[in-house]
């Protein structure tokens, strides 16, 4: 595995956690650095770290607050 990939993995807790839960990625990351982008994308999808996921969480939170405030009236 390339040293830059190792550094990226060690500096991000989500990468380490995802790699431990999905150990098959060790094989791909050892083969080529080009798999890191796929690894990163899959991690973001599973842990819901994409911008669209963050926006939907914010909308859900806003809807919940609006529902609570409307029920208090």
Q: Which domain holds residue 50?
A: 3-72
Full pLDDT tens readout for the chain, 73 residues: 899 999 999 999 999 999 999 999 999 999 999 999 999 999 999 999 999 999 999 999 999 999 999 998 7
Q: Does the global pTM surpass 0.85? A: no
Rounded to an integer, what distance in angstroms lies between the CA atom of residue 36 and that of residue 12?
A: 13
Q: How far is CA 4 from each of CA 8, 9, 52, rounded to the nearest angstrom?
A: 6, 9, 28
Instruction: Report the number of distinct structural domains present in the chain.
Output: 1
User: How would you class 25 by CB atoms within 10 Å of its CB: exposed for 0-12, middle for 13-18, buried for 19 or more?
Assistant: buried
Instruction: Kindly state the tokens that stand for 68.
Output: 């609570």
């Amino acid at each position: 595995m390339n040293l830059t990939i190792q550094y990226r993995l060690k500096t991000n807790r989500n990468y380490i956690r995802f790699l431990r839960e999905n150990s098959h990625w060790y094989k791909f990351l050892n083969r080529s650095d080009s798999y890191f982008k796929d690894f990163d994308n899959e991690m973001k999808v599973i842990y819901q770290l994409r911008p669209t996921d963050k926006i939907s969480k914010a909308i859900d939170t806003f809807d919940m607050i609006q529902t609570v405030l409307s029920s208090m009236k």
